[in-house]
Amino acid sequence: MSERPCWRRTGVWGRERPRCPRLEEVVHCHNCEEYIRPGRELLERLARAHPPPAPVPERPADEAPREYPPAQLVFRVNGNWLALPGTLILRVSESAVLRPLPHQQHTTLRGLVNVGGRLLVCLSLTDALGIPHLPPRMDDPSRGIFERLVAVEGAGLRFAFRAGEVRGLYRCAEPDLRPLGPDEGPLTAFARGAWSVTVRPRETVRCVLLDPERTLARIRECIA
């Protein structure tokens, strides 16, 4: 198997010849099943890895209904493990081509990206939230580490950001959260707390749960 996908070899971003014959029909790799399939398979793997809770058996009328902790999407940005409520996630897909915005001086806004046929503003979560810049980690297929594009919708906003890795949906109960310390930088202004997440076998990390209201308010400031 080639290390590079077909769209980076014989597709619109590749330089190999001959070009992919499917381009005559689909025009652009974004419209091809070969390009769409990895994102769909990723979501299917995430769903299998973290299935919904089993149906709750019937309970006596006087017994209170059981509540399950909300699901959070866990991802990595610049070496920092973060999470956002799963209800805000519009889509997780492969990293897409970035179209620069003309006359844009704000470093937080990186451009426009095509997400499922819809153009969304792509911003740097690192710059928006003041996340420390750490040395980048390259894609590692052997460990399931790939850069992803995360599309978010909430509070009247639709935008996307790049994540160095997306691990999936994890459930976090409020008692599991621990406060961030004052020495943890600007993230303390946007976090509800942190908890331990096992992202891979024998690899448990400290993950910061972002507060959706404060985070989206900051994003709105950056986009305005």
Does residue 18 have a cis peptide bond before it, meaning omega lies within 30 degrees of 0? yes
- Give the pLDDT score at 206: 92
Residues 10-30 as b or e (16 or more Cβ within 10 Å = b): bbbebeeeeebebbeeeeebb
Q: What is the mean pLDDT of residues 122-145?
A: 71
191 versus 52: which is more confidently predicted?
191
Virtual torsion, Cα 126, 132, 136, 137, nearest 10 deg: -100
Q: At residue 85, does pLDDT exceed 80? A: yes
Domains along the chain with CATH numbers: 17-49 (no CATH), 71-223 (2.40.50.180)
- pLDDT band of 157, cuts 50, 70, 90: very high
Q: List pLDDT tens digits, range 16-65.
A: 888 888 877 777 776 787 877 776 666 566 556 555 555 556 666 666 65
Contact indicator for 92, 42 with CB cutoff of 8 Å: yes
The pLDDT of residue 48: 61
- Res 138 pLDDT > 60: no
Residue 152's pLDDT band, with cuts at 50, 70 and 90, is: very high
Q: What is the reported pTM? A: 0.68
